[in-house]
Chains A and B, each alone.
Chain A
Amino acid sequence: MQDALPPKLVCKGLNVSVRQELSRLWPRPLGANRRMITIRGVHKDFSIDGAKVTALSPTDLDVRRGEFVSIIGPSGCGKSTLLRILAGLETASGGSIDVDDGDRARQRVGFVFQEPVLLPWLSALENVRFPLDTARVARTEADSRALDLLKLVGLTGFEAALPRALSGGMRQRVSIARALSYDPSLLLMDEPFGALDLITRDRLNDELLSIWSQTKKTILFVTHSVEEAAYLSDRVVVMSPRPGRIKTVYDVNLPRPRGERTKLDPAFHQLMADLRRDLQ
């Protein structure tokens, strides 16, 4: 009877079992396209003097591992609220959030505020090391990691400088290095470059992209700039005015790595125009 089996079918069967074996060994091969954040019906109401204010209408959003997603929308539409809920700084009034963070339960998420939020009595190095010190990481290890990160954000030579001796852009880079110091797989950034001039902003955008490609982090990035959103992202989420909800999600298919050529790409300008129109 065995001879009767068509060889083709045997071959196909073998293939299937090999694939199963592979997916047993690496349940999610390469981690690509795997969903990391699942947001379902998350909303937030604040009560101000007894009056209910809806900061965020029920929102659904999925973010894949390693994805760079920008959120853009008019002021007060709930972008910060969404990010703060994700970071655990605010509790949602309802809905569910699932962050699949591998085996590392209770992982600390990376968060970069609009302001650098550095501790003014600590040097740049000590500020970057702060999350490691408070988690009782050994000093030598913490030091070497902090030094690497300061190098990554281009601040070698400023290790001993106090925040007040650094420029706004340098402070923001220290704050990014601090958020990376504990190696979070998820990095939430709330208008991190909003207070900076355009030239510094452009440079930090390029630095951020190179950090992102080196560290393979998932990044959620809130911005008011359509150019920044289009330049950086894999996807751009546009939110509508209050009460905030997600209006449109754009896939950005501009080739990577992005650079000066991206800014000349007609598709880039088309996307910016679309985003701008959508925001009105």
Chain B
Amino acid sequence: MTIASILIALRSLAIAVAIWWIVVLVANVPAYLLPAPDAIASRFVFLAQTAELTKHIRVTLGEIGAGFILGGFLGVAFGWLFVRVPLLGRLLSPLILVLQTAPKIAIAPLLLLWLGLDMGPKITLIAIVTFFPVMAGAAAGFAAVERPYQDLGTLLHLNAWQRFRRIELPFSLPPIFAGLRIASTQAVTAAVIGELMGATYGLGYLLSLGQENGDASVVIVAILVLSTIGWGFHELIRAGERHILSWHASQIGLEARV
């Protein structure tokens, strides 16, 4: 991202806020439906000062981080297993297909029943939605490691870990990163859903709190913070991808631009 692109983004944002403000003033929209931007800003400052907002953010970020790492790790591990042990893939693929086609969000109530109202069920849900795209990407990547490269591992007497770490994993990183990028947006959604259904902290909980109290400004603050988190998370993964995959054809050109 260059300074210029940030400036362009800021300009569009400023225009959107201005339009919002004008609409609220001109059409005389009641504040309980759509507050003016200054009301949102003061609400944001108030929530930030009481330290409640930072706690909500920290809880949600913690859930996303833990669930994402867990799901990503398991996705890579199972992607590898399914390719290396085809029998396992054949046995588990019907089950996986069922799980994958079921709306993962529908599992949330069950997880809350089983794991309580704490961070556990949210982390689990995030791990589940992260798992599938990462697993699919990893399996595609591992399956595509060409025969001569496997032969190279055999010729050099590499053990299974060395093959994985030195040859198979680096080759599979591009599709794994594609999976991680898809997962990054789904992870934020999963965190919110989990928290909406039952929580004591988190931005999703803040959303439901605002709804219950009929306070649209709290809801909007939560939405803004959540989309910032989603965007930042996605950018973080893009940056990691650019850094790690600088050798890969998909990154050439991007490299030059950044």
Q: Is the Cβ of A164 less than 8 Å from the Cβ of B247?
A: yes
Q: In the complex, which residues of chain B have a beta carbon less than 8 angstroms from the beta carbon of A85? A: none
Cα–Cα distance between A164 and B252 once the two chains are bound (Å): 11
**With A108-B157, A134-B162 in contact, is A113–B247 under 8 Å at CB?**
no
A115 at the binding interface (Cβ < 8 Å): yes
Which secondary structure dominates where chain B touches chain A?
Answer: helix
Interface string of A144-167 (1 = CB under 8 A from B): 000000000000000000101000
Q: Is the Cβ of A119 less than 8 Å from the Cβ of B170?
A: yes
Q: In the complex, which residues of chain B have a beta carbon less than 8 angstroms from the beta carbon of A84? A: 151
What is the size category of the interface that chain A forms with chain B? 20 to 34
Q: Is the Cβ of A121 less than 8 Å from the Cβ of B247?
A: yes
A88 at the binding interface (Cβ < 8 Å): yes
B98 at the binding interface (Cβ < 8 Å): no
Cα–Cα distance between A106 and B166 once the two chains are bound (Å): 22
**With A108-B155, A134-B162 in contact, is A121–B149 under 8 Å at CB?**
no
What is the size category of the interface that chain B forms with chain A? 10 to 19
- B158 in complex: contacting residue of A109, A134, A182, CB < 8 Å: A134
Q: Is the Cβ of B162 less than 8 Å from the Cβ of A117?
A: no
Interface string of A100-121 (1 = CB under 8 A from B): 0000001011010101010111
Q: In the complex, which residues of chain B have a beta carbon less than 8 angstroms from the beta carbon of A117? A: 148-149, 151-152
Q: Is the Cβ of A113 less than 8 Å from the Cβ of B170?
A: no
B248 at the binding interface (Cβ < 8 Å): yes
Instruction: Specify the chain B residue showing the minimal Cβ separation from A162.
Output: B247
Which secondary structure dominates where chain A touches chain B?
Answer: loop
Q: In the complex, which residues of chain B have a beta carbon less than 8 angstroms from the beta carbon of A115? A: 148
Enumerate B141-166 residues with CB–CB distance to A below 8 Å: 148-149, 151-152, 154-158, 162, 166
- Minimum CB–CB distance for A162 against chain B, Å: 6
Q: Is the Cβ of A120 less than 8 Å from the Cβ of B166?
A: no
- B155 in complex: contacting residue of A111, A119, A121, CB < 8 Å: A111
A89 at the binding interface (Cβ < 8 Å): yes
Instruction: Specify the chain A residue showing the minimal Cβ separation from B159.
Output: A134
- B248 in complex: contacting residue of A111, A120, A130, A134, CB < 8 Å: A120
Q: In the complex, which residues of chain B have a beta carbon less than 8 angstroms from the beta carbon of A109? A: 155
Q: Is the Cβ of B155 less than 8 Å from the Cβ of A134?
A: no
The list of the 9 closest CB pairs from A to B, nearest first, reads: A121-B247, A117-B148, A131-B156, A111-B155, A89-B151, A113-B148, A121-B170, A120-B247, A134-B162
Given A84-B151, A120-B248: 8 more A-B contacts, CB < 8 Å: A87-B155, A106-B157, A113-B148, A117-B149, A117-B151, A134-B156, A164-B249, A182-B156
Residues of chain B at the chain A interface (Cβ within 8 Å) = 148-149, 151-152, 154-158, 162, 166-167, 170, 247-249, 252
